[in-house]
Chains A and B, each alone.
Chain A
Amino acid sequence: MAVEKFPVEASHIMMFARSIGDGNPIYYDEEHAKGTEPGGIIAPPTFAQASAQFDPNHGLRPKIGGDGWFGSGGAPTGAKPRGERKSGGGGGGGGGLHAEQRFIYHRHMKPGDVLSATTRPGKTWEKQGRRSGKLVFSESVTEYRDSNGELVVTAIGVGVRTERPVDQG
Chain B
Amino acid sequence: MALKASELSVGDTHAERLVEDLKRTQIVMYAGASGDYNPVHTDEVFTTQVAGYPSVFAHGMLTMGMTGKMLTNYVGDGRLTEYGVRFTNQVFPGDTLDATATVTEVADGIVALEVSTVNQNGVEVLKGTAKARVD
Pairing of A with B: yes
Q: Is the CB of A19 within 8 A of B33?
A: yes
Complexed CA–CA distance, A24 and B32 (Å)? 20
CB–CB B68/A97 < 8 A: no
Flag if B85 contacts A101 (CB, 8 Å): yes
What is the distance, in angstroms, from A59's C-beta to the closest C-beta of chain B?
Answer: 9
A16 to B85, CA, bound (A): 19
| From A42, A55, A76, contact of B78 by CB (8 A) | A42
- The answer on a CB contact under 8 Å between B38 and A60 is yes
Question: Measured between alpha carbons, how far is A26 from B80 in the docked complex, in Å?
Answer: 15
Which residues in B have their C-beta under 8 angstroms from that of A70? 39, 46
B 32-55 contacts with A by CB, 8 A:
32-40, 43, 45-47, 49-54
Complex alpha-carbon distance, A60 and B41, angstroms:
11
Measured between beta carbons, the chain A residues less than 8 angstroms from B39 are: 70-72
Total A-B residue pairs with C-beta atoms closer than 8 Å? Answer: 161
Question: For B32, what are the chain A residues with a Cβ–Cβ distance below 8 Å?
Answer: 15, 19
Looking at B29, B35, B68, B80, the one whose CB has the most chain A CB atoms below 10 A away is B35
| A151 in the interface (beta carbon within 8 A) | no
Interface of A is mostly: loop
Q: Nearest B residue to A22 by beta-carbon distance?
A: B69
A162 to B80, CA, bound (A): 32
**A128 CB within 8 Å of chain B:** no
Say yes or no: is B15 at the interface (Cβ < 8 Å to chain A): no
Q: Does B134 contact A (CB under 8 A)?
A: no
In the complex, are the beta carbons of B61 and A88 less than 8 A apart? yes
Contacting A77 at CB < 8 Å: which of B18, B33, B46, B71? B46
Q: Is B60 an interface residue (CB 8 A)?
A: yes
Instruction: List, in ascending order, chain A residues with CB within 8 A of B69's CB.
Output: 20-22, 24, 44
Q: Can you name 12 A-B pairs with beta carbons within 8 Å?
A: A12-B33, A16-B65, A18-B29, A20-B65, A22-B68, A22-B69, A42-B78, A49-B65, A55-B35, A60-B37, A76-B46, A89-B60
**Which B residues contact A (CB, under 8 angstroms)?**
2, 18-19, 26, 29-30, 32-40, 43, 45-47, 49-54, 59-62, 64-66, 68-69, 71-73, 76-87, 90, 128
